Amino acid sequence: MDTLGLPLSIELTPADTHDTVGAWRLLAGLKPLVPRLAKIWADGAYTSNKLAGWCEEYGGWDLEVVGRDPEAQGVAVRPRRWVVERSFAWLVHNRRLRIDYERKVQTSETPIEVAMVRLLLRRLASSA
């Protein structure tokens, strides 16, 4: 997601795929599409020196893991995390995305892309 909460790329993986493996698959084709990307914020699941090194070497990206504040008790809002959570909340407004009935990954990715196109068109129409 970019800082506006819009997806730069979409990659669906099976549930048994670790997040860092999914990150490599997601980011591998991103450099030509988003040449100005400089910083990537990620949650604690992406804490990996290998992934951070690869991001720096491959794309020149700074991977910053936004961790939990050690002094926080209970539920605490983490910086930049709300952007991704808000984007997922927008997707749930599309009834078709509430439950995934598809057998193939591509047919699961397409409704997400259509939902984001709808969101962009709605934003453009309201700003005109």
pLDDT, one tens digit for every residue, the chain (128 residues): 677 777 777 777 777 888 888 888 888 888 888 888 888 888 777 888 888 999 999 889 998 887 777 777 777 666 666 666 667 677 777 777 766 666 777 777 778 788 888 888 888 888 76
Domain that holds residue 103: 19-127
Six-digit token string for 35: 């040449």
Residue 8 domain-assigned? Answer: no
Residue 12 domain-assigned? Answer: no
Q: How far apart are CA 50 and CA 57, in angstroms?
A: 10
Residue 5 domain-assigned? Answer: no
Residue 3 domain-assigned? Answer: no
Rg (CA), the chain: 16
Q: How many domains does the chain have?
A: 1
Residue 13 domain-assigned? Answer: no
